[in-house]
Structure 1
């Protein structure tokens, strides 16, 4: 019995066991709230190939936005145009140089001709944009929140989207004549379809979980629209609004060449009859400035309205 006990292997008690090696958590796994205040941040470790390198994380975004940097592209185009004109690579009878265009613009401003035509064009584009945006939003809400509205409206508007505004001119002239009403309606139709398509896509893209949450909270119809539909549809609406602004200027160029007595398009059409390329370029520059400024205004409003979003645009 004594020999059997002496042969039994001795087991060390748990208290005498060697403590397990403590693994220090990676700095990324430690929440910022649990780190001691004033503690020195541990540099992150990045694996490059088979080598462990200490350093900062690689930036994958586009970087911080620079104010007025969008003007770099237009300024570069003007610089190339100026250099080609100064080097006599451009025929002034086909494309006037920047100096001749600037001189013509000054003459048009002094005579008041440019301001008068510009005022009429802005009025037409503004009215068409206003009616088009209102119509597009109302149609998108009706089609996006109701199956009956979707069945009645979406197919018709998709067909209209495939028909260019220029193809509707003969029918609009037959129905509305050749006055200002026809011009505003043609512009509004182009704007409404663009706004509708983007707003409708944004509405139908809202996650159904938010709808179920609103139903579980027993929200009313107007509360649902204000707290779920409007925030969910705003990003698509602003995309449609930006495209709608562009569509209003494109439609303006078309309608101002149909029995118009004033407007930038009329001024350019008359200059074409007399081969005045400098006047045509002045009109194009005005259209470009209007489009750039209006897009910048919409971008500014979008950033303020969607300030809760964090996007690559900054």
Structure 2
């Protein structure tokens, strides 16, 4: 009798492809990160060369090493970590209130003709009012505590969130909504499971703008009798003409804005993974 022939085990093609895909993706992400850092590195190098060569007066633009020393001094003498935490808390608290309010109003105005008639004209009118013009009015109404600061940030972040949510909800295909209603889906479930998911691209665009605006308006809000925060440090530095402190505060604001944008990008990848697959490389 012939000996039985051993049958080779089947190899799952997916197991062979996955390591290659992960390796290619990791290489692409590292290359993308390297390309993003080229511009800032060139700028810092030109800055360091210009200040060390004496082409730029240090009283106008301190050297990178001078900013490092200023940072260390602020960290020890002005409790920089506490100042940043205070500003970040204000931006997050006011921004969260404005984002939620803009999301709710945008959804109502986008779904309902009555909601549009009640809110849209009023919000479009208020949107054109400069935020700095509201500062003295808020001081008269709410005093000089935390309330006017948070309200100013909330009001500023509400408008971009409202506009993008409203546009996203309005652009949802009505045939899809009618189809879901024919299957018995309606009310809150229809909004949460159909309308808002389809409007997510516009909503995340509004979220990105709103978080950026919260950092911008934070500068104006912290001019209202602030005794702590980046705005307080910025005002004191302006009074005493401390250019290094001003630049450090500006850099921190920029990092906060970048961090807000990275948060939104992470949320987009989690809730809308299909958008990354259509990116042009």
TM-score > 0.5 by shorter chain: yes
Q: Does 1:311 align with 2:278?
A: yes
Listed as ranges, the matches of 1:9-20 within 5 Å are: none
Q: Does 1:116 align with 2:55?
A: no
| Stretches of structure 1 lacking an aligned partner (at least 5 in a row) | 1-63
Identify the match of residue 146 of structure 2 among 172, 180, 202.
180
* Equivalence for 1:71: 37
Partner residue, 2:177: 211
Q: Cα 1:179–1:313, aligned 2, differ >3 Å: closer, same or farther? A: farther
| Pair 1:136 & 2:102 matched | yes
**TM-score (norm: length of structure 2):** 0.84
* Counterpart for residue 261 of structure 2: 295
Instruction: State how far apart, in whole Å, the 1-side matches of 2:58 and 2:36 are.
Output: 29
1:112 offset after TM fit, Å? 4.9
> Which stretch shows the higher mean deviation, 115-124 or 186-195?
115-124
Take 2:42 and 2:199, find their aligned partners in 1: how far apart are those partners? 36
- How far apart are the structure 2 equivalents of 1:313 and 1:285? 31
Quote the offset at 1:305 in angstroms: 0.5
Distance 2:204 2:106 in 1: 13
The one of 165, 168, 180 aligned to 1:199: 165
Q: Does 1:225 align with 2:191?
A: yes
More helix by share: 2
Partner in structure 1 of residue 238 of structure 2 = 272
SS in 1 for 2:82: helix
Distance in 2 (CA, whole Å) between partners of 1:135 and 1:110 is 39
Structure 2 stretches lacking a partner, 5+ long:
1-27
Deviation of 1:67 after TM superposition, in Å, equals 4.5
Instruction: Give 1:234 shift.
Output: 1.0
Q: CA deviation at 1:70?
A: 3.2
Task: Say yes or no: does 1:241 pair with 2:207.
Answer: yes
Judged with a 3 Å threshold, the aligned counterparts in structure 2 of structure 1 residues 111 and 313 are, in CA distance, closer, same or farther, namely farther
Cα RMSD of the aligned pairs, angstroms, is: 1.7
Which segment drifts farther, 181-190 or 113-122?
Answer: 113-122
Q: When the two structures are aligned, how many residues end up with a matched partner? A: 251
Correspondence 1:245-264 to 2 at 5 A: 245-264=211-230
Q: 1: CA distance between counterparts of 2:99 and 2:162?
A: 8
Match of 1:91 in 2: 57
Point out which structure has higher relative CO (alpha carbons under 8 A, 6+ apart). Answer: 2
Determine the C-alpha separation between the residues in 1 that align with 2:45 and 2:172: 45
User: For residues 273 and 291 of structure 1, what CA distance do their matches in structure 2 show?
Assistant: 25
Indicate the structure (1 or 2) with the bigger Cα radius of gyration. 1
Return the alpha-carbon distance in structure 1 between the equivalents of residues 185 and 124 of structure 2: 32
TM-score, normalised relative to structure 1 = 0.76
Partners of 2:45 and 2:280 in 1: CA distance: 27
